[in-house]
Amino acid sequence: MDHQTLSMTGAGFASADTEVGPLRVEVRAVNGRGLAVKLRLAAPCQGFEAAIEELVREAVARGTVTVVAEREGADAGGVDRAQFAAAAAALWQLATDAGLRQPTAGEVLQFLAAAGRGDPVTSRPLPPRVRAVFAAALADLRRHRADDGAGTVQAMREQLSEFARLRATAAERAPQLAAVWRERLLQRVQELIAQHVPGPPPAIDLVREVALYADRVDTAEELQRLEHHLAEIDAVLARGGEVGRRLEFLLQELLRETNTLGSKSPDSSVAHTVVAMKSGIDRLREQAANLE
């Protein structure tokens, strides 16, 4: 595995003349928590399952991968014309040698079906040309996944830049919030005391209460953690490779700090900024969920 950042979705195709006849191989991949391999193989490929799955696991780390291998030349009803012609010729020769009537098309098909239900082959190695056609289809899949992955990373970087801008807006407003709310709280406390308290309380009590409230609305720690998470996400994208699970964790932490920022900021402008930040995280999570 290299350090490309791959999408988990894509498709790859290849076809070639092989030791088991002309084969067309299609490999499709969709999102998945781990790696799941599904095989739909033509009869001549039975017994190659273990070797084919090993090839898939060498090329793909995450996703649900479906591999379909078909004999080229089969008609829409699933009949391999070359195989049918060979079976018909063999049966006709047997019938001629035995002095029997020639077999019908239906009887040839019954013979092919019975032959296909023979004892299954548990495992056998891939012949060189069969291996090559499966490897080519997987390489084509990987190319598509790399292209999609590069596009997703670019989109994520743009979204992260917008998130960093919103965070900077909130950070610029944060010191003003503490000062404004300190003044408002002090004024309200003084008004309350003037109306309901016989004598003025010690100034130290007022200062302590205002300081406690100012500490509750202080968002410096959340803003610092957001900056740290953004730097880590950028580093993960730069490293490439299998980034999906790490990004999922970091984006979860990003959302947690953003929620705390919103709950600690009693200001409408910061509240609007936090809503935009959370929308951006939702888009980032959708994008990251598509990366290997």
The band of 102, judged by pLDDT with boundaries at 50, 70 and 90, is: confident
**Residue 119 pLDDT more than 50?**
no
Cα 225 versus chain centre, distance: 26
**Residues facing 125 on adjacent strands:** none
**Amino acid making up residue 263:** S
**Residue 179 pLDDT more than 60?**
yes
**Read out DSSP for 11-56?**
EEEEEEEETTEEEEEEEEEE--SSEEEEEEE-GGGTT-HHHHHHHH
The band of 76, judged by pLDDT with boundaries at 50, 70 and 90, is: very low
Count the helices and strands in the chain (H runs, E runs).
Answer: 8, 4
Cα 4 versus chain centre, distance: 14
Supply the pLDDT for residue 207. Answer: 61
Supply the pLDDT for residue 74. Answer: 55
Supply the pLDDT for residue 264. Answer: 81
**Could you read off the pLDDT of 226-285 as tens digits, one per residue?**
999 999 999 999 999 899 999 999 999 999 999 999 888 777 888 899 999 999 999 999
Supply the pLDDT for residue 201. Answer: 58
Torsion angle defined by CA atoms of residues 273, 279, 280 and 281, in that order, rounded to the nearest 10 degrees: 110
CB count within 10 Å of CB 208 equals 11
Which secondary structure element, helix H or strand E, spans residue 66, and what is its range?
strand 63-71
Average pLDDT score over residue span 17-36: 92
Nearest to 145 by CA among 257, 60, 270, 216: 60
SS3 71: strand
What is the residue-averaged pLDDT of the chain?
Answer: 85
CB count within 10 Å of CB 236 equals 19
Supply the pLDDT for residue 1. Answer: 46
Q: How far apart are CA 99 and CA 92, in angstroms?
A: 10
Supply the pLDDT for residue 205. Answer: 59
**Residues facing 274 on adjacent strands:** none
The band of 73, judged by pLDDT with boundaries at 50, 70 and 90, is: low
Which secondary structure element, helix H or strand E, spans residue 1, and what is its range?
none
Supply the pLDDT for residue 112. Answer: 66
**Residue 121 pLDDT more than 80?**
no
Answer yes or no: are the C-beta atoms of 258 and 229 closer than 8 Å: no
Q: How many residues does the structure list for the chain? A: 292
**Residue 199 pLDDT more than 90?**
no
Q: Domain coordinates of the chain in residue numbers?
A: 78-119, 150-288
Supply the pLDDT for residue 268. Answer: 82
User: Is 0.85 surpassed by the pTM of this model?
Assistant: no
Answer yes or no: are the C-beta atoms of 12 and 138 closer than 8 Å: yes
Report the topology of domain 150-288: Butyryl-CoA Dehydrogenase, subunit A; domain 3 (1.20.140)
- Considering only 15-24, 75-84, 187-196, 265-274, which range has the smallest mean pLDDT? 75-84
Supply the pLDDT for residue 160. Answer: 97
The label of the residue with tokens 């997987």 reads 138
Residues whose CB falls within 8 Å of the CB of residue 198, separated by 6 or more in sequence, listed in order: none
Answer yes or no: are the C-beta atoms of 267 and 171 closer than 8 Å: no
